[in-house]
Amino acid sequence: MKTAAREGRAVAVEPGPVVSLGAGISAVAAGQLARVRVARGPLMIVATVQSLGLVILLRGIVHQRDTATAAAVVAGATILVVGFVALNLLAQRLGALKANHALDYYAALPVSPAAVVLGTAASYATFTLPGVLVTAVVGDLVYDLPMARLWFLLPAAATAALALAGVGALLGLLLPRPELATIAGQLGMTVVLFLGLIPVGHLPEVIRGLRLAVPGMLSVDALVDGLRHGSTHWLDAFVRLAAAAAYGAAALAAAGAALRRAVDR
Amino acid sequence: MEQRAAYLVRGLSKTYRGATSRANDGIDLEVPSGEIFGVLGPNGAGKTTLVRQLVGLVRPDQGEISLLGHDVIAEPRVAPRLVAYLAQEEPALAELDVRRAIETTGRLRGLSRREAGAATKDLLDELGLGGLADRPLTRLSGGQRRLACVASALVADRPVLILDEPTTGLDPVARHAVWSAIGRRRAEYGTTVLLVTHNVLEAETVLDRVAVIDRGRVIACDTPGRLKAAVDDSVRIVLVWHHEPPYDDSMVETLARAAIVEGRRWSVRLERSRVRDVLDRLTQAPLFDALEDYTVSTPSLEDVYLSLGGTRPDMDKQ
């Protein structure tokens, strides 16, 4: 039986290049950053002020000598900056792109869905940088935590960003309406706030188990270990970060698949 | 075997979830390489569903699509490497400035930053968009915005262009710039253009071949000239009445039964043999006094559409 392909042409025309993941992420992120150039300042301030406020507010309750709780507050509030942007803003943005069929634009270009999700997430990640740094530094100063450990913030925030962005993207792409993505993102951020800031030891047993399923919590735990006084189990901390990265990679891969499905409907 | 078709489509069918009727119902098409091929039909005929399947955005329920020797259904991601697609609207570009919209699209088609910058500059000049380059699309008029989106479709030349109503809202100068740009690509690179339109006049003037679509089916496919030849035994008369038409006149009553009525505007297709009699009556009092305007024209593709059983005469005639 003749197929349409055989009937059409004997020799297939060589297609144009596939855009590499890196180039795709960079182009998508550059476009997204250009889009939000005006809104970036206010968004950065909102993302920072919320966490900074919590760190300062809780200083009235947490005793300076209770370094475990102090480290939990600083780590939780720092990762919350990432949570605000990823769960709130990214979920909203992807939900809106899906709702107005803007994802067709990307799907009709030779760029992978993963690059679209990661590029969009990367553009939003730039909003978190000042907030993460300011919250961690101010937190360390207010609670008198060792500043020398602050380098650990970098891998912890990066792995938290992967996990939170993956889940934020999934919410935006899977939920049927953008309003639902917004609500889910807000609720998700509230969960990250509570479970991130409250020291694990203070939580009921049943929640402790479920807590690790919440994106960003593995990074929070590693950061708590890294920030507080005393010896840190670096191997444990990096194993946690590796697990957080794997969690993020899985969520982002699922978001890429969800993006394909969101177009074909 | 010699090259024959850019696209070859067989038995393409698609029903959207929850829909009661098929958006596409057994579509067969052959789009010859290097031609400007039109898909013409009223709103809701299934044109956009068809092109979304051709570019691999929507998976058909049944059928085959071959694009320049590639099976689009088996490898949907090959289409974006061969086709530049302009959708009816491009909300993803809305908040970018014109330069960034073109450049980003170029980079996402595989151009380096430098190549995309150079291609963007050329396109801004070619389409006369230089003065608007740094304005966000949201701050442009509908026509200017459409022109910017056309520019983004033309960046990083592809062998096939699929343009869904590219000239909607464009002024004559911009329309001319778009057709010149498309014509140049066709002449220099042999680019195949698949144009979705419901603008009859545009279809008649720019297309090499046209597929007329109604309710998800191709009801005719040929050159505009040959399609019109099939209805050349008729003439279209358009009447615009001052007020209420004089229905008490027997001829007016007869015309009313055959007319497509839009307010005070009647459009009637008549056999050539009847035209002289009808015009004689219309150009005498009292009917002439009741008319604000009338025109007589040879058949258009809209007449082809209607003569083939098309049911929704809402195609744009401007």
C-alpha distance from B106 to closest chain A C-alpha (Å): 9
Residue B315: pLDDT band (50, 70, 90) is low
In this prediction, residue B310 carries a pLDDT of 66
Cα gap B73→B61, rounded to integer Å:
10
Give residues with Cβ within 8 angstroms of B231, minimum separation 6.
Answer: B269, B299, B303, B304, B307
Q: Worst-scoring range by mean pLDDT, A71-85, A115-129, B94-108?
A: A115-129
Residues of B in contact with A10 (CB under 8 A): 1-3, 69
- What percent of chain B lies above the pLDDT cut of 90? 57
The chain-wide mean pLDDT, for chain A, equals: 89
- What percent of chain A lies above the pLDDT cut of 70? 95
Q: Are A264 and B82 a contacting pair at CB < 8 A?
A: no
Q: Choose from B57, B112, B194 for mutation: most chain A CBs within 10 A.
A: B57
In this prediction, residue A127 carries a pLDDT of 83
Size of interface A-B (CB pairs under 8 A): 144
Other beta carbons within 10 angstroms of residue B142's beta carbon come to: 10
For the segment B190-201, the average pLDDT, to the nearest whole number, is: 89
Residues of B in contact with A101 (CB under 8 A): 87, 89, 91
Cα gap B105→B195, rounded to integer Å:
20
Residues of B in contact with A12 (CB under 8 A): 68-70
The sheet carrying B234-241 orders its strands as B260-262, B265-271, B234-241, B291-297
Residues of A in contact with B78 (CB under 8 A): 15
Cα gap A6→A154, rounded to integer Å:
54
- Closest CB from A16, A30, A36 relative to B110: A16
Q: Are A27 and B107 a contacting pair at CB < 8 A?
A: yes
Residue A3: pLDDT band (50, 70, 90) is low
pLDDT tens, A179-233?
999 999 999 999 999 999 999 888 998 898 889 899 999 999 999 988 887 777 8
In this prediction, residue A217 carries a pLDDT of 95
Residue whose token pair is 């409907």: A265
Q: Report the phi/psi class of residue A108: left, alpha or beta, with left for phi > 0 and alpha for psi in -120 to 50.
A: alpha
Question: Minimal Cα distance from A112: which residue of B?
Answer: B77
Using a 10 angstrom Cβ sphere, with 0-12 exposed, 13-18 middle and 19 or more buried, the burial of residue B230 is: middle
Task: Tell me, letter by letter, the H, E, C secondary structure of A150-174.
Answer: HHHHHHHHHHHHHHHHHHHHHHHHH
C-alpha distance from B275 to closest chain A C-alpha (Å): 46
B311 has pLDDT over 70: no
In this prediction, residue B65 carries a pLDDT of 96
Judge whether B190 is closer than 8 Å to chain A, CB to CB.
Answer: no
Q: Choose from B62, B68, B108 for mutation: most chain A CBs within 10 A.
A: B108
Cα gap B259→B263, rounded to integer Å:
12
Residue type, A4: A
Residues 94-113, chain B, touching A (beta carbon < 8 A): 95-97, 100, 104-105, 107-110
Residue A178 in 3-state DSSP?
helix
Other beta carbons within 10 angstroms of residue A137's beta carbon come to: 15
Residues of A in contact with B156 (CB under 8 A): 16
Q: Are B83 and A108 a contacting pair at CB < 8 A?
A: yes
Q: Choose from A3, A6, A9 for mutation: most chain B CBs within 10 A.
A: A9
Closest CA to B262 of B191, B313, B219: B313
C-alpha distance from B169 to closest chain A C-alpha (Å): 20
Judge whether B85 is closer than 8 Å to chain A, CB to CB.
Answer: yes
Residue B312: pLDDT band (50, 70, 90) is low
Q: Are A31 and B82 a contacting pair at CB < 8 A?
A: no
Eight-class DSSP state of A19: P
Alpha carbon B15 to chain centroid, angstroms: 22
Query: Which tokens hold the place of B187?
Result: 């002449």
Residues of A in contact with B59 (CB under 8 A): 264
CA dihedral A156, A157, A162, A164 (to 10 degrees): 110
Q: Are B87 and A104 a contacting pair at CB < 8 A?
A: yes
- Closest CB from B57, B89, B93 relative to A107: B57
The chain-wide mean pLDDT, for chain B, equals: 89
Query: Which tokens hold the place of B49?
Result: 């569903």
pLDDT tens, B36-88?
999 988 888 899 999 999 999 999 999 999 999 999 999 989 999 999 999 98
| Helices A21-35/A113-143 angle, 10° precision | 70
pLDDT tens, B233-262?
788 889 999 988 888 888 888 888 888 888
A176 has pLDDT over 70: yes
Judge whether B139 is closer than 8 Å to chain A, CB to CB.
Answer: no
CB B133 within 8 A of CB B148: no
| Chain A residues near any Cβ of chain B (below 8 Å) | 3-13, 15-19, 23-24, 26-28, 30-31, 34-36, 97, 100-111, 263-265
- What percent of chain B lies above the pLDDT cut of 70? 96
Q: Worst-scoring range by mean pLDDT, A138-142, A190-194, B264-268, B304-308?
A: B304-308
Closest CA to B80 of A250, A196, A235, A260: A260
The helix (run of H) or strand (run of E) holding residue A177 is none
In this prediction, residue A1 carries a pLDDT of 43
B309 has pLDDT over 80: no
Can you point out the beta strands (E) in A38-151?
none
For the segment B145-171, the average pLDDT, to the nearest whole number, is: 94
For the segment B96-102, the average pLDDT, to the nearest whole number, is: 95
Q: Are A4 and B109 a contacting pair at CB < 8 A?
A: no
Residue A7: pLDDT band (50, 70, 90) is low
Cα gap A261→A264, rounded to integer Å:
5
Cα gap B146→B167, rounded to integer Å:
7
In this prediction, residue A94 carries a pLDDT of 93
Strand partners, B30: B8
Residues of A in contact with B67 (CB under 8 A): 8
- Closest CB from A7, A12, A106 relative to B70: A12
Residue type, B297: S
The radius of gyration of chain B's CA atoms, rounded to the nearest angstrom, is 22
Cα gap A164→A179, rounded to integer Å:
19
For the segment B109-131, the average pLDDT, to the nearest whole number, is: 95
Pairing of strands B291-297, B234-241: antiparallel
Query: Which tokens hold the place of A208?
Result: 């402790």
In this prediction, residue A65 carries a pLDDT of 80
Task: Tell me, letter by letter, the H, E, C secondary structure of chain B.
Answer: CCCCEEEEEEEEEECCCCCCCCCEEEEEEEEECCCEEEEECCCCCCHHHHHHHHCCCCCCCEEEEEECCEECCCCHHHHHHHEEEECCCCHHHCCCEHHHHHHHHHHHCCCCHHHHHHHHHHHHHHCCCHHHCCCEHHHCCHHHHHHHHHHHHHCCCCCEEEEECCCCCCCHHHHHHHHHHHHHHHHHHCCEEEEEECEHHHHHHHCCEEEEEECCEEEEEECHHHHHHCCCCEEEEEEEECCCCCCCCHHHHHHHHHCEEECCEEEEEEEHHHHHHHHHHHCCCCHHHHEEEEEEECCCHHHHHHHCCCCCCCCECC
Judge whether B130 is closer than 8 Å to chain A, CB to CB.
Answer: no
Question: Minimal Cα distance from A6: which residue of B?
Answer: B69
Cα distance between the two ends of chain B: 42
- Closest CB from B30, B96, B158 relative to A35: B96
In this prediction, residue B246 carries a pLDDT of 85
C-alpha distance from A31 to closest chain B C-alpha (Å): 6
Give residues with Cβ within 8 angstroms of B160, minimum separation 6.
Answer: B6, B7, B67, B68, B82, B83, B84, B191, B192, B193, B194
Cα gap B48→B24, rounded to integer Å:
10
In this prediction, residue A67 carries a pLDDT of 86
Cα gap B169→B166, rounded to integer Å:
9
Closest CA to B263 of B281, B245, B279: B245
Cα gap A44→A56, rounded to integer Å:
18
B2 has pLDDT over 60: no
A37 has pLDDT over 90: no
Judge whether B10 is closer than 8 Å to chain A, CB to CB.
Answer: yes
Pairing of strands B36-40, B209-214: parallel
Q: Are A17 and B81 a contacting pair at CB < 8 A?
A: yes
In this prediction, residue A6 carries a pLDDT of 52
Residue type, A217: M
